[in-house]
């Protein structure tokens, strides 16, 4: 390894950072981007894609850079996923609201049903599909652009040569889900407000301008990044949190490499990010046991994972294999339509039936995350509850956290099942888990359980 490699890495990431900044500018200046809340990373990534080697080849980027953009999302997503357990503080919240667990199981159920629906594409069309085609529906919708990189990383580790193609289809699905989730979410909000199903919202058009342009120009309204849990004379708080996350990633790679060296069955097939989650749970448990949890601020952690995700997204879209994606254009459009119909109907009626109080506010936030990302849900919820006066934000956040940890644990299991046992086994497993999660959602919502 030479210094030239590091220079190329810095040069290529610095170059794409300029387009990330361009995305911020265009988001603020172009009304369409503001109205649809398309993230700057998506805008910047598509500009590079269109002008780059996979598009019109105007930029003529070096092949080394394109390889970096292909591989970087799969690397960056490891610390993003590893950070999920760090800083989890339920502290009796599960006992204070009966909506949290039902909502978490509803999210798990729809993610599994999206997998099953996506895999059914192979039966509907006669194309020559690769073995895992269709998983991209659940990867792109409930997972999002970052999870598309997880899929690529997982398939790449399994030495499956179609990993890049699968990652490209997943990124395409994530883009459709993100934009469509906001547009259809606005339709649902307008419908619910006319039906008096929203408890706070009176005028759907009163969304803050700052949400559309992407920033506050009044510094007094700008939120804090989080607590400075350490003194800078010792270590910067941001560096402290990042060191824990990256340290867990290093331990995870060491554990996985050791397992592969000794060729331990089953365990050697589990992806790196699955080990990262498990080890982070152990580390966070030790931090709590040692009564050092005051050193961890979840907002700081979230900003680190959010920053890494931004670069993962812009690189993933910039390296999207357009030709490979267009080979499956009709199946992709089929998944897009089925995904929106299934997700809309399931979430609307399940949340209306099972959740108490601000059911629509919790549903629309969940809808945003199950089509786009967590922040999409926050945006839609902010329209219904501008000042977050309802308990919907806390219920949604905790339910999302529970379901996301479960989702990543199940993802590895489902992918390996399809690869080693076939399509039908993967569909059956997804449907079975989805039905089980649905039953559990009903039980926790309808049956009074002591302490919950």
For residue range 122-164, list pLDDT tens digits in order: 999 988 899 999 999 999 999 888 788 888 888 888 889 999 8
Q: What is the pLDDT of residue 266?
A: 67
25-60 tens-digit pLDDT: 999 999 888 877 788 888 999 999 999 998 999 999
When pLDDT is cut at 50, 70 and 90, the band that residue 204 belongs to is: low
Mean pLDDT over 295-319 rounds to 89
When pLDDT is cut at 50, 70 and 90, the band that residue 402 belongs to is: confident
Mean pLDDT over 338-348 rounds to 97
Does residue 56 sit in helix, strand or coil? coil
Q: What is the pLDDT of residue 91?
A: 60
Q: Tell me, what DSSP letter sits at residue 55?
A: T
Higher pLDDT, 307 or 216: 307
Mean pLDDT over 271-292 rounds to 89
Mean pLDDT over 229-251 rounds to 95
Q: What is the pLDDT of residue 451?
A: 46
Q: What is the pLDDT of residue 186?
A: 86
Q: What is the pLDDT of residue 431?
A: 97
Q: What is the pLDDT of residue 144?
A: 82
Q: What is the pLDDT of residue 95?
A: 54
∠ CA 35-398-253, rounded to 5°: 95
When pLDDT is cut at 50, 70 and 90, the band that residue 397 belongs to is: confident
C-alpha span between 214 and 321 (Å, rounded)? 29
pLDDT of 11 over the 70 cut: yes
pLDDT of 121 over the 50 cut: yes
Q: Tell me, what DSSP letter sits at residue 143?
A: I
367-385 tens-digit pLDDT: 999 998 777 888 788 788 8
Mean pLDDT over 213-233 rounds to 84
Mean pLDDT over 54-79 rounds to 89
Q: What is the pLDDT of residue 450?
A: 47
Mean pLDDT over 429-449 rounds to 91
Cα dihedral 436, 438, 441, 447 in deg (nearest 10)? -80
If you search the block for the tokens 């749970």, which residue do you land on? Answer: 281
DSSP for 191-235? HHHHTT--SS-S-TT---HHHHHTS-SSGGGPPP-----S-TTT-
**Which of 6-20, 99-113, 148-162 bottoms out in mean pLDDT, i.e. has the lowest?**
148-162
pLDDT of 341 over the 60 cut: yes
pLDDT of 92 over the 80 cut: no
When pLDDT is cut at 50, 70 and 90, the band that residue 294 belongs to is: very high
∠ CA 215-217-223, rounded to 5°: 60
**Which of 78-87, 162-171, 385-394 bottoms out in mean pLDDT, i.e. has the lowest?**
385-394
Q: Tell me, what DSSP letter sits at residue 220?
A: G
Q: What is the pLDDT of residue 269?
A: 66
361 close to 200: Cβ distance less than 8 angstroms? yes
Q: What is the pLDDT of residue 93?
A: 52
Q: Which DSSP helix (H) or strand (E) runs through 151?
A: helix 145-157
pLDDT of 362 over the 80 cut: yes
C-alpha span between 41 and 45 (Å, rounded)? 6
C-alpha span between 177 and 336 (Å, rounded)? 8
425 close to 334: Cβ distance less than 8 angstroms? no
Q: What is the pLDDT of residue 344?
A: 97
C-alpha span between 244 and 256 (Å, rounded)? 18
When pLDDT is cut at 50, 70 and 90, the band that residue 199 belongs to is: confident
Q: What is the pLDDT of residue 452?
A: 46
**Percent residues over pLDDT 70 in the chain:** 94
pLDDT of 12 over the 50 cut: yes
163-181 tens-digit pLDDT: 989 989 998 998 889 888 9
Closest C-alpha among 60, 91, 78, 141 to residue 273: 78
pLDDT of 88 over the 50 cut: yes
Closest C-alpha among 432, 168, 100, 126 to residue 326: 168
């Amino acid at each position: 390894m030479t210094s030239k490699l590091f220079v190329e890495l810095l040069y290529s990431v610095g170059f794409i950072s300029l387009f990330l900044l361009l995305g911020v500018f265009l988001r603020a200046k172009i009304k369409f981007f503001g109205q649809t809340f398309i993230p700057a990373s998506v805008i910047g990534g598509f500009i590079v894609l269109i002008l780059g080697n996979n598009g019109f080849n105007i930029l003529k980027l070096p092949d080394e850079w394109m390889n970096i953009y292909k591989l970087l999302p799969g690397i960056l997503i490891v610390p993003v996923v590893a950070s999920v357990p760090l800083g989890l503080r339920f502290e009796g919240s599960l006992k204070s609201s009966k909506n949290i667990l039902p909502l978490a199981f509803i999210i798990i159920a729809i993610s599994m049903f999206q997998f099953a629906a996506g895999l059914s594409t192979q039966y509907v069309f006669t194309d020559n599909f690769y073995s895992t085609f269709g998983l991209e529906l659940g990867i792109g919708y409930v997972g999002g652009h970052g999870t598309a990189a997880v899929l690529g990383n997982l398939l790449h580790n399994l030495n499956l040569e179609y990993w890049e193609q699968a990652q490209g289809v997943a990124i395409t699905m994530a883009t459709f889900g993100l934009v469509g989730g906001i547009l259809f979410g606005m339709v649902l909000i307008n419908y619910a407000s006319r039906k008096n199903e929203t408890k706070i919202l009176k005028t759907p058009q009163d969304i803050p301008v700052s949400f559309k342009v992407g920033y506050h120009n009044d510094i007094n309204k700008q939120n804090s990044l989080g607590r400075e849990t350490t003194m800078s004379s010792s270590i910067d708080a941001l560096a402290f949190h990042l060191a824990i996350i990256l340290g867990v990633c290093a331990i995870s790679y060491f554990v996985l490499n050791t397992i592969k060296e000794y060729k331990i069955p089953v365990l050697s097939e589990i992806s790196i990010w699955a080990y990262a989650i498990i080890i982070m749970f152990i580390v966070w448990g030790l931090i709590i046991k040692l009564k050092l949890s005051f050193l961890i601020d979840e907002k700081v952690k979230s900003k680190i994972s959010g920053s890494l995700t931004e670069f993962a997204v812009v690189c993933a879209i910039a390296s999207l294999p357009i030709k490979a994606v267009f080979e499956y254009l009709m199946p992709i459009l089929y998944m897009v339509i089925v995904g929106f119909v299934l997700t809309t109907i399931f979430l609307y009626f399940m949340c209306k039936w099972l959740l108490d109080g601000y059911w629509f506010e919790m549903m629309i936030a969940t809808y945003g995350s199950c089509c786009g990302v967590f922040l999409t849900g926050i945006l839609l919820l902010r329209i219904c509850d501008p000042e977050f006066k309802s308990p919907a934000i806390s219920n949604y956040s905790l339910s999302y956290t529970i379901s996301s940890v479960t989702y990543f644990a199940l993802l590895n299991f489902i992918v390996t099942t399809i690869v080693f046992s076939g399509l039908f086994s993967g569909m059956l497993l997804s449907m079975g888990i989805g039905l089980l999660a649905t039953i559990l959602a009903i039980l926790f919502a309808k049956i009074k359980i002591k302490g919950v």
